[in-house]
Structures are given as C-alpha cells and as structure tokens.
C-alpha cells in the first residue's frame, strides 16, 4: 500500500470513529440536558445586552426569578436585580416596562448543565496554520467578536478572538480554514470540492468544517471537541460519512499548505 493510500485509510478509519462518537454524544443524557438548559435562557436584544453589561459586566446567564426556580435554583437574599426592557403588551413594541432578571452567580441550588466546547492548554501549533492560511491566500486577523463567537470565515479572510489559549486558537483556526476551503472557494483545491446540487445546510457546513479540523488536529497530536460540536450543530454520524471525501481533501489541503507531511505522522484522534 502506498503512503497516500495508507493515510486515506487511516483518515477513513478515524472519521468513521468520529461518526460513531457524534451519534453517541447526541444520545448522552448529560449532553441533552445541557442543550435543554441552553434553550430556555432568554435571547436578548442588543439593547438589553447593553443594559445587562452596563449593570453587571460579569453576567453570563440571566433569567427571571421564576425561571431560575423552575430550574431548581433560588435567588440569593439581598441580590439586586438586573433590569431589562420588555414590551408592556405581548406582541406590541409601543411601550416598555422594566423586567427584573438575575445572573446565575446571584442564585444557588441545582447545578446548571453546561456544554463545554473549549480546549485548554498551551500550544504554538497555530503558527503552522497561520502559515497554511498564507499559502492558501487567506488573511488571518484578530479582533473582538460578538459574544460567544471565537472565529468566523469571511471569504479570503478569517478573524479570531484574541487571547484564546494555544490549543483552542489552533482548533478555531483549523475550523475556519476548513470553511474557507469548503464553503468560500479559497485555496488551490477549492474547485475539486465544489459539488453541484442544493446548497448545504448550516449543520452540513459546520459538520464538514469541524470534521476537517478534527483530522488536522489529530495529525498535529491535539485533542478535539468535534463530537460535541457537531452534535450541538445538528450534525450526525451520517453527515460526517456523506462528506468523507470532501473532508479528507480539505484536511490534506490545510496540512500541505502548512508544510506538514501528513502520511509520515501517525493520527491520534481523541473524540
């Protein structure tokens, strides 16, 4: 078997393992409980986000007292509420009233389930992916991004949140470079990866990007949160397998651009 065939076989094996891990994660009760908790947190307008930050800059999750009680938590005595604005009449925005809400740190009780998608730990391997970006003709920039966003692909440019730990910066950069190749037509192999037919869904795009990042991180010897991320985005094991060839090519494009000899490096995928 040639080196190229060998690396393809090993990538296929690990992507099949990733597919199984995604389906297992989607059925995990702890994961499902975290998604349910995320679903009931209010989605605030930009103005209310400003009000929350103004009154309590460290706030992360805010809800009304009764909603916290429904989750098994009580507002601590003496805590001052955060005031946000809501329409006085549901469905109408002609007049507003103050609504008191509280941050999770102002409450106590049952533990709030969390979906942790961060990667901790130092690494300088992101420098290799910055080199890959230059080879692919993609500019890399760092600036403050909207809350909850660590990076995004803009077509010819990716922007990352500054100050990310080394491992997470590497993972986010790999993910956004995958978007550039697969969905923004960046790089020499973009034409190979264009497929006629209906546009891909967000779940399909995020699955392809994070599965590609998964392979890149594996070659670099780094862990990945791909099973959790893909399941969170609505992807499945079948979504991974359907795009296997595109994922393999995109990962190889990034590794080649980074000057990494993929076939000579053992893959260590860690779902």
Model pTM?
0.77
pLDDT at 116: 85
What is the signed CA dihedral for 75, 48, 117, 174, rounded to 10 degrees? -170
DSSP state of 104: G
- The gap between the terminal CA atoms of the chain, to the nearest Å, is 27
Residue 25: both structure tokens together: 């994660």
Domain boundaries, the chain: 3-33+117-264, 36-109
DSSP string across 111-125: PPP-------S---T
CB-based contact 156:139 (threshold 8 Å): yes
pLDDT at 256: 93
- Residue 137 makes CB contacts below 8 A (sequence gap 6+) with 156, 186, 187
Mean pLDDT of each 10-residue bin along the chain, 271 residues long: 75 94 93 74 73 87 90 95 85 78 94 87 96 96 89 96 96 97 75 62 95 94 95 95 94 93 45 39
Contacts 24+ apart (CB under 8 A), 80-88: 82/51, 82/52, 82/55, 82/56, 83/51, 83/55, 84/44, 84/48, 84/51, 84/52, 85/47, 85/48, 85/51
User: With 0-12 CB in 10 A as exposed, 13-18 as middle and 19+ as buried, what is 251?
Assistant: buried
pLDDT at 229: 94
Give backbone dihedrals phi and psi of 233, rounded to 5 degrees, phi first.
-80, -5
Pairwise CA distance, residues 188 & 199, whole Å: 21
pLDDT at 271: 39
């Amino acid at each position: 078997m040639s080196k190229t065939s060998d690396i393809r076989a090993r990538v296929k094996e690990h992507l099949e393992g990733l597919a199984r891990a995604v389906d297992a994660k989607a059925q995990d009760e702890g994961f499902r409980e975290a998604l349910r908790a995320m679903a009931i947190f209010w989605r605030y307008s930009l103005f209310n986000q400003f009000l929350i930050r103004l009154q309590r800059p460290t706030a992360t999750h805010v809800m009304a007292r009764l909603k916290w009680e429904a989750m098994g938590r009580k507002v601590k005595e003496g805590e001052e509420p955060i005031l946000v604005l809501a329409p006085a009449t549901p469905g109408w925005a002609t007049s507003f009233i103050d609504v008191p809400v509280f941050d999770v740190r102002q409450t106590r009780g049952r533990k709030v389930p969390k979906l942790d998608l961060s990667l901790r730990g130092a690494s300088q391997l992101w420098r290799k992916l910055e080199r890959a970006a230059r080879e692919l003709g993609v500019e890399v920039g760092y600036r403050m991004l909207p809350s909850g966003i660590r990076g995004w692909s803009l077509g010819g440019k990716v922007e990352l949140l500054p100050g990310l730990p080394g491992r997470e910066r590497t993972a986010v950069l790999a993910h956004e470079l995958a978007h550039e190749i697969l969905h923004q037509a960046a790089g020499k192999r973009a034409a190979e990866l264009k497929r006629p037919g209906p546009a891909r869904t967000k779940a399909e795009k995020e699955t392809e990007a994070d599965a590609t990042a998964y392979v890149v991180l594996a070659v670099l010897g780094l862990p990945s949160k791909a099973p959790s991320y893909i399941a969170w985005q609505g992807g499945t094991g079948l979504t991974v397998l359907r795009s296997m060839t595109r994922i393999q090519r995109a990962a190889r494009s990034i590794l080649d651009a980074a000057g990494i000899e993929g076939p000579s490096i053992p893959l260590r995928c860690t779902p």
